[in-house]
Amino acid sequence: MQFPEIDALARAAAGAGPSPSDPQIAALFNALGLVADQRASAARQALQRWAEDRRAPQAERDHAVRRLAELAAG
């Protein structure tokens, strides 16, 4: 299963910035005027919320948890 929104957030949280292929996330960060460090922090927080969101499907939460673990591992 693919979760492009989660993967885009993980890339942003890693400091790579939002993917040009995901214009919604890029537009959100641009609209908020967030600089790179702020984007990474905001993306990590959004990813954490997604991982904890009991309303999200379990597969999406699991993927978000995996991506957070990858970020923590460095």
| Joined tokens for residue 38 | 């702020």
Which of the pair, 9 or 21, is modelled with greater confidence?
9
pLDDT tens-place string over residues 22-71: 778 778 777 877 767 788 889 999 999 999 999 999 999 999 999 999 99
Q: Which of 20, 61, 48 minimizes the C-alpha distance to 40?
A: 48
CA 74 to CA 16: how far, in whole Å? 13
Which of the pair, 17 or 58, is modelled with greater confidence?
58
Q: What is the DSSP letter of 21?
A: T
Phi, psi of 34 (to 5 degrees): -80, 135
CA 65 from centroid of its chain's CA atoms: 11
Query: Domain boundaries in the chain?
Result: 4-73
